Structure 1
């Protein structure tokens, strides 16, 4: 699902990063937690500033649980094909990443709480296997607290998150300073 190399992001955090995630359903404003999850935040910011997320689709929707995106295999797929769970030319949606992994921070982040609107990184079974795929919690999911790194909390756009479905487009992710 993800790359194999353990990556240290080059992105320099200022500590007040905000992600504006523009989707086909509206914009979500997320306060990123650079103190609690600095590797995850720097990785997400690095990918966002590279344009990695632009044009990808959300590929996984589980009602009352999560909406997930960030798989590069969805880039050249139609929203309908992603929603139908069809394979893309690069592989199945949900199996791609940036070509590297990052170190897990869920054991060290004092604010690692999967509250409603939490932004966290997906990973495979291996703890240090997150790369680019992220999810938003659709309601509190505290059963995930001990296994997945939360790196942000939604400040605005909860209604957008609730409206997202598989196939919806991540038009652009912009990183700004609060």
Structure 2
């Protein structure tokens, strides 16, 4: 005789409520960000040739599952580490050095996390493991396992500084996360190497952590232009850059 597991129904309802609350928080932050940025100049975008294309974000590798060790999960670095300011620095990808800025004002939690991991040497020797060459144009980095499933022993949120337009200009550095989970950010990030539209999912967009300010053309020529190993739209880069060092100040 078949029955219905009421506990499973309660769990699903609870998960749906959490997702709705995450989306509500994200949308409120979007309104605040939009009001802050009215004074900024309008960015010029490459034509995307028509309507927004719906895509499966998991196929584009814009996900980052964070592994947990035994015992109680560690906590993300304290928000105060961002110092609520802009940071500058350089990332050495193989032989290519790019200049960067980190937005500790509009993305304080993500900035605190990146500064903490970078100064501890977490990223040193870590290879960029995924490249997308169609629809969206991103290189994903920051997973010490090189599989897209690794990271530190904690996860964090919320989504910060995601663009209301869902447009991510070339040079954007943004945090990867699991689809439909605003609290799943870790160490993985992606570099947008060509203007891209990345649709929001059920909980919003992607935290814009910072920008590449110099060296993007060299990065693209060395690591994006060669494409993927199997010449597929989303896969391992044919030439995968290792992060040799990160300097932040």
What corresponds to 2:211 in structure 1? 153
Alpha-carbon displacement from aligned partner over 1:8-60 (angstroms, at most 9, x marks no partner) = 31362341311311111311111111111000011000000000000000100
Alpha-carbon displacement from aligned partner over 1:74-109 (angstroms, at most 9, x marks no partner) = 3xxxxxxxxxxxxxxxxxx11101111111223xx2
Instruction: Name the CA distance, whole Å, in 1 between partners of 2:103 and 2:244.
Output: 23
What corresponds to 1:115 in structure 2? 169
TM-score, length basis structure 1: 0.78
Change (3 A) 1:169 1:12: same
Pairing 1:2–2:62 present: no
Q: How many residues align?
A: 156
2:245 pairs with one of 168, 172, 177: 172
Alpha-carbon RMSD: 2.1
What corresponds to 2:11 in structure 1? none
Name which one, 1 or 2, has greater alpha-carbon Rg.
2
- Where do 1:2-151 residues align within 5 Å? 2-3=66-67, 5=73, 7-10=75-78, 12-14=81-83, 15-63=85-133, 65-74=137-146, 93-106=147-160, 109=161, 114-125=168-179, 126-144=181-199, 146-151=204-209
Instruction: Name the CA distance, whole Å, in 2 between partners of 1:172 and 1:149.
Output: 23
What corresponds to 1:83 in structure 2? none
Unpaired runs of at least 5, structure 1: 75-92
Instruction: Name the CA distance, whole Å, in 1 between partners of 2:162 and 2:188.
Output: 22
Change (3 A) 1:170 1:147: same
Alpha-carbon shift at residue 130 of structure 1 (Å): 0.8
Alpha-carbon shift at residue 141 of structure 1 (Å): 2.0
> Secondary structure at the residue paired with 2:248?
strand
Change (3 A) 1:142 1:48: same
| 8 A contact 2:127–2:142 mirrored in 1 | yes
Instruction: Name the CA distance, whole Å, in 1 between partners of 2:214 and 2:105.
Output: 21
Unpaired runs of at least 5, structure 2: 1-64, 225-236
Change (3 A) 1:144 1:33: farther
What corresponds to 1:89 in structure 2? none
Post-superposition, which runs of at least 4 consecutive aligned residues in structure 1 deviate over 3 A? Answer: 3-8, 110-113
Higher strand residue share: 1
TM-score, length basis structure 2: 0.57
Alpha-carbon shift at residue 131 of structure 1 (Å): 0.1
Change (3 A) 1:159 1:25: farther
